Chains A and B, each alone.
Chain A
Amino acid sequence: MALSVSITVNGRRFDRDIEPRLLLVHFLRDTLGLTGTKIGCDTSQCGSCQVLLDGVTVKSCTCLAAQADGSSVTTIEGVAPDGKLDGIQQAFWEKHGLQCGFCTPGMIFAARALLATNSNPSAEQIRHALEGNMCRCTGYQNIVRSVQAAAAAGGR
């Protein structure tokens, strides 16, 4: 049984017939080929699959594609489509906020969500905001510095 959905991703509308059980993350990765969004777990802990859904950060493994019908999604590919890094990406680059890069797309959206509501977060507030995102490489410290630097530079 197929379900018709219309989802706008990175500004472009996609009309697709999908299985009702299809998760948003699989819609993005497998149906649309937007593989920048990562799958790091199957229990919604790691945060590697975070995207923006109608401006709100969601873990795209916890959301059915059907739930995103009529919505607008931004993935990491939509953050710097012309290759020009946004403020958060630039800060991650400058502060060595990534090593293997696998958790990075999710971290960037977590940072964006925080800075949208708190333009000058403390280190503790940043660490709290990153609770739902796991990184095994950096020990988080340079991610915290990256978010601080992004805030200092005026957010995204």
Chain B
Amino acid sequence: MATTVAAPARVFGSGIKRREDPRLLTGTARYTADFTLPGQLYAAIVRSPHGHARIGKIDTAAAKMAPGVAAVFTAADTEGVLHPIPCAWLVPNSNLKTAPYPPLAKTVVRYVGDAVAVVVAESAQQASDAVELIDVEYEPLPVTIDPEQAVRPDAPQLHAEAPGNLAFHWTVAGGDVDAAFSKADVVVRDRIIQQRLIPNAMEPRGALAHYLPATGELTLWNTTQNPHIVRFIVSLVCGIPEDRLRVIAPEVGGGFGSKIPQIQGDFITVFCSMKLGRPVKWIESRSENYQSTTHGRDHVQDVEMAATKDGRILGLRCTVWAGMGAYLSTAAPGIPTILHGLMLSGPYQLGAVKEDVYGVYTNTTPVEAYRGAGRPEATFMLERVIDQLADELKMDPAELRRKNLIPPFDDGHDVVTGLKYDSGNYPAALDKVLTHVNYAGLRAEQAELRKKGRYIGIGVGLYVEICGLGPSQVAGAVGFQGGLWESAIVRFHPSGKAHVFIGSSPHGQGEETTFAQIVADELGVSVGDVKVVHGDTETTPMGWGTYGSRTTAVSGAALAVAARKIKEKAKLLTSHLLEAAVEDIDYADGKFFVRGFPEKHKTIQDIALMANVAWNMPQGMEPGLEATTFYDPPNFVFPFGAHVAIVEIDSETGHVQLKRYVAVDDCGHQINPMIVEGQVHGGVVQGIGQALWEHGVYAANGQLLTGSLNDYAIPRADLLPEIEVLSTVTPSPHHPLGVKGIGEAGTIVSTCTVYNAVLDALKPFGVKSIHMPLTPERVFNAMAASSAAGTRGADPAGPGTGA
């Protein structure tokens, strides 16, 4: 894919450099931790060292006397001021049991890292020092950390409000799944552990709160993906009216879902500033981040697939125990349900689906959205059992997939879970990736290498993603406690330069550039003349935030519509100024002209000046050149793709070498292919991380064993191959620009693609399943166990033949 295009004819679709980069490259960009206000204090939080314990006496006397300490607060101080942290996705028909989540634990701590007290001091070091002086008595309680075990009758109970630790039980069903299984020739099954992941945005979370006692106003700088939601929730929890709250998401260093929810530290920081009337900053350390910022995944999945002997998939039936952590985080219940269960049929013609999802409280850090959020877990189940089915039927896994794909459609396709996909051409994506890798040749090479005792594996993964969340009416129907529309303002200044204000809040995805490209494309201004403003509730219109691959899909649509309103006004003003009928005014390449007389024209800059000075406006036309749009999408968008991974296993050590990774993704029209490609790279690598390395591990006693970046393996440059990125283009029929989202696509499919490749390589050993991550130890042990069970060599091309 070209990243430099010579003299592009059209700026939309061109891989131009990003407008946001110079400040980021020179160290002049400001993230939350980089702000310091006059009189600022620093907060450090005392956190529970226990997974579950009753809080006894808290002795803060020594800390209060420590140098520089301004105050120490515990839950008792917050009585009547702070309210519990609300869960904002109350999935209906699921018997949802929320339990109050106090910003500071009152009587019981329920996970390692649960906040117990806060020290505020003149310096960060003094605050940290004083934390060590606080003595908290704990009476340890029994702990449960595994979502499947936590629902057993003998498991320790976390909340009186949720008997059996059951936060919810949600079911999705479509078609007659029992009939599908009863008439099946073959049924394959697997148990899949979607291990707990720790998001690791490179910027840890933090907040800087500045309360003005005289006015009751508070400004909050916050590491967030959704400042307008922060304003709403901080208002609810801290009791500050929304009109007196300003939330600023300055530069934000990645999020991946972990900066959607409001966490304890945010409210504690606000509280400290309210109490002390001074600015207070709290920035978590990375190790603190591992405990206090949300985690992802943590599913135990039992899945079975029914099919005919000629490879027609009839049905999918699954049970999922989804670990929620100790409390329901902001969006958590929607992730293993709406964003997961509704996607179970993927790109396939699948007539019957049933899934039971049990959301379970455990003594662990709350689980939230993590890149892909529910969709990787669904895609994995489906793609894994399809490979199992291919194995069972002795069919090629790519051919089995092709046989079951939904045929191409360009304007709506109803699937069994009740969704209507917008557009798709799944066979084209599959064909493209298979052709690119020379799939038949690879299979032949694999067979040859096996004879020599070398084990390469070829993994195929397909996906459809639901994103561009979403129609607000649907959001309400599925229990999301907010809307999911977006807004945009386009404002032209007299000189013809423009500002764009958006309610969503990009944090690395490049919308300051791609959104300028949208305006440039619609109105013929230079990209460099359009400044995109986001991340400040005081200056931007309402928006619901950047997550779920929705900013380009929803906010971008709002912007396109706003730009087209500008165009309509410009046509009216042109017709007035040129004394021509508005029906005779055409637009092309930044010029509004009288049809047939292109020399009689006004540029958008001419119109911007004339509209702003307003010396000669048509009767009834308001001055100014500005448009606002609130855009509520008519449907979600459904990007899709087909990926292939090629691995080689070292049979002596179990080491997995990822040799090649090819992605074909379809996100409709691409505004900036360079940025699309970058999103695919990053997404794919995060999914590879889950397959091969990443694992958030709790000990049975509730201790977080992977408590720092020393213990948790995020992907490194030297472990990865070049990702080959290709695309197909199937525009969304309902989107004004025909675009879909691309932020999460790579993560949704790469985990299962790499996993399938590893298990494909291990076929000669008879290995059917290994829990992730596929570390050398696990792979080696799986090979050894299969060999011990006598399955080794069962395959005629297996080890021992020609090795």
- Chain A residues with CB under 8 Å of chain B are 19, 21, 29-30, 33-43, 45-46, 48, 75-77, 79-80, 83, 85, 89, 92-96, 98-105, 108, 123-124, 126-128, 130-131, 133-144
Contact = CB atoms under 8 A, between A and B. Distances in A.
B4 A140 contact: no
Contact of B24 (A33, A101, A130): A101
B286 A100 contact: no
6 contacts: A43-B286, A102-B203, A104-B24, A127-B717, A139-B715, A142-B677
A62 B624 CA distance: 55
The CB with the most chain A CB atoms within 10 A, among B21, B124, B201, is that of B21
A38 B203 CA distance: 8
A75 B27 contact: yes
B36 A33 contact: yes
B782 interface: no
A43 B708 contact: yes
B697 interface: no
A105 B21 CA distance: 12
Contacts, number: 183
B215 interface: no
In the complex, the 6 A-B pairs of residues with the closest C-beta atoms, listed nearest first: A36-B27, A101-B24, A100-B508, A102-B253, A139-B685, A76-B27
B709 A141 contact: no
Main secondary structure of the interface of B (DSSP, over half): loop
Nearest to B508: A100
A131 B715 CA distance: 10
B253 A35 contact: no
Interface of B: 3-4, 15, 17-18, 20-22, 24-31, 33-34, 36, 124-125, 200-204, 251-254, 256, 285-287, 507-510, 674-675, 677-678, 681-686, 708-710, 714-718, 720, 722-723
A79 B675 CA distance: 26
A121 B25 CA distance: 22
B714 A136 contact: yes
A126 B678 CA distance: 18
Contacts of B26: 36, 76-77, 79-80, 83, 85, 89
Contacts of A46: 202, 286, 709
B363 to A, nearest CB: 24
A77 to B, nearest CB: 5
A134 to B, nearest CB: 6
A135 B285 contact: no
B27 A98 contact: no
Given A80-B26, A96-B675, A141-B722, A42 B287 contact: yes
Contacts of B256: 136
B755 to A, nearest CB: 18
Given A46-B709, A93-B17, A136 B720 contact: no
Given A38-B203, A102-B253, A43 B287 contact: yes
A29, A45, A92 — most chain B CB neighbours (10 Å): A45
A32 B253 CA distance: 22
B386 to A, nearest CB: 26
